């Protein structure tokens, strides 16, 4: 995977126009000898329906057990926000994000939960994971309630 070597952290950075233009950064894990879970939550993810162009909204929860690298959070925010003008089905967006993070970080374990808000009357939740959770690692519930409408 070709990556730029300069981090975006600590300097002004424009929002990438698309996920293909976005740069994800990683940094060395200072506790690579320890198994622990790091979590990122993006409660206001937006992408476009590839058919209608209408906006789709999701709540993403990304959990991973780092290995040699950590995900740099500013680059993740920019990457996830670059989907705002990207046309992709819920499954495509969720799984492609998981695969890209997995390829970049090569974590011991990674999972992504995409909790999509309903449009057209039906929510679609998408889950993807890679690797094997190390024995004894505590992973909290993702904390996103099932969709219940107004009830």
In whole angstroms, give the CA distance from residue 114 to residue 98: 10
pLDDT at position 150 over 80: no
As a whole number, mean pLDDT of residues 66-83 equals: 98
Residue-range domain boundaries for the chain: 38-131
22-49 pLDDT, tens digit each: 999 999 999 999 999 999 999 999 999 9
Tokens of 46: 């937006």
pLDDT value, residue 140: 95
Considering the segment(s) 38-131 as one domain, its CATH architecture is 2-Layer Sandwich (3.30)
Predicted local confidence at residue 2, as pLDDT? 47
**Over the stretch 58-70, which tens digit does the pLDDT of each residue have?**
999 999 999 999 9
pLDDT at 121: 83
| DSSP codes of every residue in 7-46 | --TTS--PPPSSTTT----EEE-TTTTS---EEEEEEEEE
pLDDT at residue number 151: 58
Q: Parallel, antiparallel, or unpaired for β 38-48 and 26-28?
A: unpaired
- Assess contact for 130 and 94: CB atoms under 8 A: no
- The residues that are catalytic are 49, 56
**In which band, very low, low, confident or very high, does the pLDDT at 5 lie, cut at 50, 70 and 90?**
low
**pTM score of the predicted model:** 0.92
Each residue of 91-149: pLDDT tens digit? 999 999 999 999 999 999 999 999 999 988 888 999 999 999 999 999 999 999 888 77
Question: What pLDDT is recorded for position 6?
Answer: 84
d(CA 129, CA 122): 23
């Amino acid at each position: 995977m070709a990556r730029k070597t300069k981090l975006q952290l600590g300097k002004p950075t424009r929002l990438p126009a698309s996920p293909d233009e976005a740069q994800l950064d990683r940094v060395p894990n200072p506790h690579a000898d320890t198994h622990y879970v790091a979590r990122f939550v993006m409660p206001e993810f937006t992408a476009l329906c590839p058919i209608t162009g209408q906006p789709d909204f999701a709540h993403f929860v990304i959990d991973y057990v780092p290995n040699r690298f950590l995900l740099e959070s500013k680059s993740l925010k920019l990457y996830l926000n670059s989907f705002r003008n990207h046309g992709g089905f819920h499954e495509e967006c969720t799984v492609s994000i998981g695969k890209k993070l997995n390829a970049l970080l090569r974590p011991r374990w990674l999972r992504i939960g995409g909790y999509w808000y309903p449009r057209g009357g039906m929510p679609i939740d998408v889950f993807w994971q890679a690797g094997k959770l190390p024995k004894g690692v505590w992973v909290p519930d993702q904390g996103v309630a099932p969709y219940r409408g107004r009830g």
